[in-house]
Amino acid sequence: MSSGITPSQTVAETDNGILWRFGNATKPPLLIVYSLVNQPSILDLTPGRSMIARLVDGGYCVYLLAWQPPGYARRFVSLSDYIRGDICDALVHIHHTHGQPAHLLGVCQGGVLALCYAALASGYSNTDARQIRSLTTLATPWDTGHAEDQLAELARGIDFQALVKATGNIAGEPLAAVFASLKPFALGPRRYSHLNTVMAQGEKAVAEFMRMERWMYDGPDLAGQAFAEFAEQIYQNNALANGNLVLDGTSITLDAIHVPVFSAYASDDHLVPPRSAQGLSTLIQSDCTEVAVAGGHLGLFISTRAHRELYPVLLDWLTAH
C-alpha cells in the first residue's frame, strides 16, 4: 500500500498482516479489512477514485489491515487465525491509540471476515478493547446458496481438502484466471478494445490503465487451510446464511451481531451477485441499512457513480453512528 496515492504509514504488525494508517490520528478510527484474494491497492489506486482518500476526507482516521502473502510454513493458517487473531489485534491496537472502538469496514471476502468478527464481538463488554462501533460490508458474499453465484457453482464439485493437501498454499495467478473467466468478454476483448482511446488521453490515463492491469493479475498466494475453509463453509455449505458456520470450534451466527450495520452491493456484480450480498437485515437483530449501486464489482469501490451516490450516504451513516 505504500505505492498508493494517499500518504500512509505502518503503525503495527499482526501475525499475518501489516496495519497501515491514513489520515489524522485525532479523527475517529475506521478499520478496513480487505479480501485475502487480491491486493488492497484497488482501494487507493487513482486520484478521485480512492475509497481510502474519500474516507479520510470525510473525517476519519483510516486503518487498513494489509494481509501478508503466506509462505509455505503458514499453509495451515486458518480463517479463525485471521479473524480472532489479526483483526482482533488490529482493533485492540486502534482502541489503545484512540481510546475508542473503531468502525469496521469489510470489502468483498473481507466483509465475510468482518461479519464473523462482529458476531464474535457481541460477547465482549462495552469497555473491551476488542469491541467495534459499527460494521460496514461492501460486496460481501454472505448468502451463496443460489445458481446466480457463479463462484459457488464452480466450488460445489471440488474437493478442496485434497487440493490443498496436494498444493499447500493456493497460487494467486490461477485464481485471477478463474475470476477473469467468469466475465471473459468484458475483461478481455471489450476491455482492450478501448486501449486506443486510453492512449489518446495521455500518459496519466495510460498509467492508470496499467495500474489496474497490474492489480487484476497480481493476486497474492492464499494460505491453504484458510482457502479450503472459506470455499467449503461459504461457497459449498452456505454456512453463514444457514446459521451453521463453525470456526475453530466456535459457532458464528449473524443474529448475534448487535452493532449497527451498513451493507452495499452492486446491481451488476458478476463475482458477488446482488442475491449473495443483500438481505442481511433479515438475520441481523440490530439496525441494518442496505444500499444498491448500479454497476459492477469494482465499480462499487472506484467508480465515479459510487463516489457520487454511495460514499456520501455511507459517510452520513457513519457520522450518525
Q: Which residues are catalytic?
A: 108
Q: How far apart are CA 94 and CA 100, in angstroms?
A: 8
Q: How far apart are CA 195 and CA 209, in angstroms?
A: 9
Q: How far apart are CA 143 and CA 178, in angstroms?
A: 20
Residue in 319, 300, 305 with CA at minimum distance from that of residue 35: 300
SS3 35: coil
Cell digits for 12?
503495527
Strand partners, 245: 252
User: Does an H or E element contain 292, and which?
Assistant: strand 288-293
Q: How far is CA 66 from CA 35, 79, 277, in A?
A: 9, 15, 23
Overall size of the chain counted in residues: 321
253 contacts 243 by C-beta, under 8 angstroms? yes
For the four alpha carbons of 303, 260, 64 and 238, in that order, the dihedral sign comes to: negative
Q: How far apart are CA 263 and CA 292, in angstroms?
A: 9
Q: How far apart are CA 59 and CA 317, in angstroms?
A: 13
Cell digits for 38?
487480491
Report the greatest alpha carbon distance in the chain: 58
Amino acid present at 287: D
Cell digits for 99?
481510546
